[in-house]
Structure 1
Amino acid sequence: MRAKNLLSWRVLLGAALAISALTLLILPGDPAQATDSTAQSAARTSGPVSVCLVTRDAPNRERTVKVAQWASQVLLTETLSYPGPCASYGAPSPLGNGTVRTYAQINGATPQTVGFVFPKNTLTGLPTTMTDGHHCYDMDGNGTVNEHTECVGGHERPLELPSQLTSLPGMPLKWALLNYNPMGHGPEHIYDTPHFDFHFYTQSKAERDAIRSGPCGLAINCDDYATAIEPIPPQYLPADYVNNNVAEAAMGNHLVDMNSPEWHSTAFTQTFIYGAYDAKISFLEPMITKAWFEGIANGVNPSRCWPIKQPQQWQLGGWYPQEYCIDYRANRGDYTVSMKNFRKSAA
């Protein structure tokens, strides 16, 4: 069986590379070979691209190859391959009927993509209760805890980022956290629909874990609430984001973009949040509804990217993403939520 898998791997790789080479050898001006001027122009200007080659008979074996543009499209359709370079992965955590894990794609010493990946069946069998009960506080002192008003965090999955990413010089991201909120959360009529919070933390996990539950804000300790809402100096505050003092236990403060569509009579589908604690950015967070993911797989919503609004200056220099993306990879039957287009910023 191993010999058969190796043979099929070599055959497919050889075929892809042969197709790629043939494509590049076709002369755009040869009337016997090309009839479309747009295709001819593309052939002249497009070079080989990186693809992480993955075959269906060896789904856990990945190898970065370079092929022509159109050959890459064949691989991305007919195999389990994905746009390269190949990823490094964090350990998976169970969720629903599937799992979720982090991944990172790195080109030399430059981060290319960091994100979460999960199979389609993760969206089935999800928790239905408001919370996992990890972060609750009897705020009214009546001796019982109301999970709807005295608990925060939904159902959380702390995740390690790949060490290949966190060990890069100038990489501010330290770990990741997924929260699934079966009933959403406040504010009412804004984010009160089933959704996922995908956190990429610049704050250490130990510091985050030390943000205690208590009777202030969103079930947060009052001293920690005061620390959480400390204002960020204007030059470090991302453009259009405001501090509404929305601080919660085991999380910190949440800065929102009041220009985002959900604040202007448009139903929430996806948005981007910044976290803050002790007057510093503590996490970057795409927030996405369950329905939006389902709509992508059904062909109703597109896979696409959105720009991430930046501050004038970062308090901590290093690599920061310029866009976040939500994708459904039909050939792999999975979703990715990622941050891309990293640029290195001085402090």
Structure 2
Amino acid sequence: MENLFTLPKKIIVLGCLFLLFSCSQDEMITADLQKNVSSSFTAKTSAAKLTVFKGPQVALGYGKVRSWISVDSNGHPYEIGIEITPEAFKNLDTDNSKSVPPDGETIVVPLQLKATQLTPFDHIGLNWNPHGHEPAGVFNVPHFDIHFYMISAQEQLAIPAWSTETDAAFNNYPPIGYMPADYFTPPGPATAEPQMGKHWLPINLGAYLPFSKIMIYGSYNGKFIFVEPMITLDYLLSDVDFSANYSQPEHFEKAGNYPTKYNIYHDAESGNTYVTLSDFVARN
């Protein structure tokens, strides 16, 4: 969730459009689960064997970010997310003229083909907010928004800015049961963002303050279109691992494998940071 109210958005497509990335830019790695994630997250499944499919790297700060998905021996998705190198947190200047990426722009992080085949997700949008955004006193601290989109990049780019003419599409909510019952979105332009959609917050928002991490939902024109871990820079740099279930809708428009947990963890050997979704459940 970028600026919740007024800030226009742009999309950075790094290199070529991700639809044009060649297969040589992806990687497939067969490895022990323990080598890919922190021991605290994988203690109960440390003997599992996974195949890891990695998407192409894109630039962030002085480092790189890329998507990946791990698949178990039965061909089921185990975990999906992004891998951030430690250098990526450098050159994230709070001066908008120097920040990489600039405040208000989105990095498109392509998914490897296997990820789009086994999950409902199409691509990931990564936003850096050096000053946070409204509402003041809630999200106005430096943080990242990580949108896991279930629509194509073309559909995402076509979402217009809010206006009296587009209000109906933004406030055409999914039917009852297709968004979590304990989430809400205010009517009108609040939380309506161009090239993103309408953002939904937990009803018990106070339980997440002071803000360090939270899961956001998104919709547009009657459809549930993204889930969004929103995490402060301070928390990502803290080396504190985290894993928690997040609220689920009762119904799903499309059958598929949907995650139920989000995770933040760090690899001491490489220094990489991971933000992932896991514990997939097959939905009808």
Place the TM-score, normalised by the shorter chain, in its bin.
0.7 to 0.9
User: Is the 1:130–1:154 contact (alpha carbons within 8 Å) kept by the matching residues of 2?
Assistant: no
Between Structure 1 and Structure 2, whose CA radius of gyration is higher? 1
- TM-score after normalising by structure 1: 0.64
Partner of residue 261 from structure 2, selected from 311, 323, 326? 323
Relative to structure 1, is the Cα distance of residues 320 and 222 closer, same or farther in structure 2, using a 3 angstrom cutoff? same
Partner of residue 85 from structure 1, selected from 42, 50, 69? 50
| 1:31-90 deviation per Cα after TM superposition (whole angstroms, max 9, x unaligned) | xxxxxxxxxxxxxxxxxxxxxxxxxxxxx99442599xxxx97xx9xxxxx975242111
User: Is the 2:217–2:226 contact (alpha carbons within 8 Å) kept by the matching residues of 1?
Assistant: yes
| 1:82-105 deviation per Cα after TM superposition (whole angstroms, max 9, x unaligned) | 975242111111111101111110
Cα separation, 2, equivalents of 1:273 and 1:345: 20
User: Is the 1:88–1:162 contact (alpha carbons within 8 Å) kept by the matching residues of 2?
Assistant: yes
| RMSD over aligned Cα atoms | 2.8
Give the match's secondary structure for 2:169.
helix
Partner of residue 66 from structure 2, selected from 97, 101, 104? 101
User: Is the 1:211–1:221 contact (alpha carbons within 8 Å) kept by the matching residues of 2?
Assistant: no
Following TM superposition, by how much is the alpha carbon of 1:187 offset from its aligned partner in structure 2, in angstroms? 1.0
Structure 2, unmatched stretches of 5+, are: 1-26
Relative to structure 1, is the Cα distance of residues 311 and 127 closer, same or farther in structure 2, using a 3 angstrom cutoff? same
Give the match's secondary structure for 2:236.
helix
Alignment of 1:24-173 (within 5 A): 62-65=29-32, 84-107=49-72, 108-130=74-96, 154-168=104-118, 171-173=119-121
Task: Give the structure 1 partner of residue 225 of structure 2.
Answer: 282
Following TM superposition, by how much is the alpha carbon of 1:185 offset from its aligned partner in structure 2, in angstroms? 0.8
User: Is the 2:30–2:52 contact (alpha carbons within 8 Å) kept by the matching residues of 1?
Assistant: no
Higher relative contact order (CA 8 A, sep 6+): 2
- TM-score after normalising by structure 2: 0.78
Cα separation, 2, equivalents of 1:208 and 1:61: 28
| 1:167-194 deviation per Cα after TM superposition (whole angstroms, max 9, x unaligned) | 23xx311111100101011111111100
Give the match's secondary structure for 1:121.
helix
| 1:204-262 deviation per Cα after TM superposition (whole angstroms, max 9, x unaligned) | 2111100123xxxxxx34433320221221111213001214101111100110214xx
User: Is the 2:71–2:78 contact (alpha carbons within 8 Å) kept by the matching residues of 1?
Assistant: yes
Task: Give the structure 1 partner of residue 131 of structure 2.
Answer: 183
The residue identity in structure 2 corresponding to 1:259 is N
User: Is the 1:256–1:273 contact (alpha carbons within 8 Å) kept by the matching residues of 2?
Assistant: yes
Relative to structure 1, is the Cα distance of residues 264 and 94 closer, same or farther in structure 2, using a 3 angstrom cutoff? same
Identity %: 29
Relative to structure 1, is the Cα distance of residues 288 and 198 closer, same or farther in structure 2, using a 3 angstrom cutoff? same
The residue identity in structure 1 corresponding to 2:230 is M
Cα separation, 2, equivalents of 1:181 and 1:281: 24
Task: Give the structure 1 partner of residue 202 of structure 2.
Answer: 257
The residue identity in structure 1 corresponding to 2:94 is T
Aligned length: 244
Cα separation, 2, equivalents of 1:172 and 1:280: 13
The residue identity in structure 2 corresponding to 1:92 is Q
Relative to structure 1, is the Cα distance of residues 282 and 336 closer, same or farther in structure 2, using a 3 angstrom cutoff? same
Give the match's secondary structure for 2:279.
strand
Cα separation, 2, equivalents of 1:231 and 1:89: 34
Structure 1, unmatched stretches of 5+, are: 1-59, 77-81, 133-146, 148-152, 214-219, 297-301
Relative to structure 1, is the Cα distance of residues 127 and 223 closer, same or farther in structure 2, using a 3 angstrom cutoff? farther
Bigger mean CA deviation after superposition, 264-273 or 331-340: 264-273
Task: Give the structure 1 partner of residue 4 of structure 2.
Answer: none
Partner of residue 234 from structure 2, selected from 275, 291, 296? 291
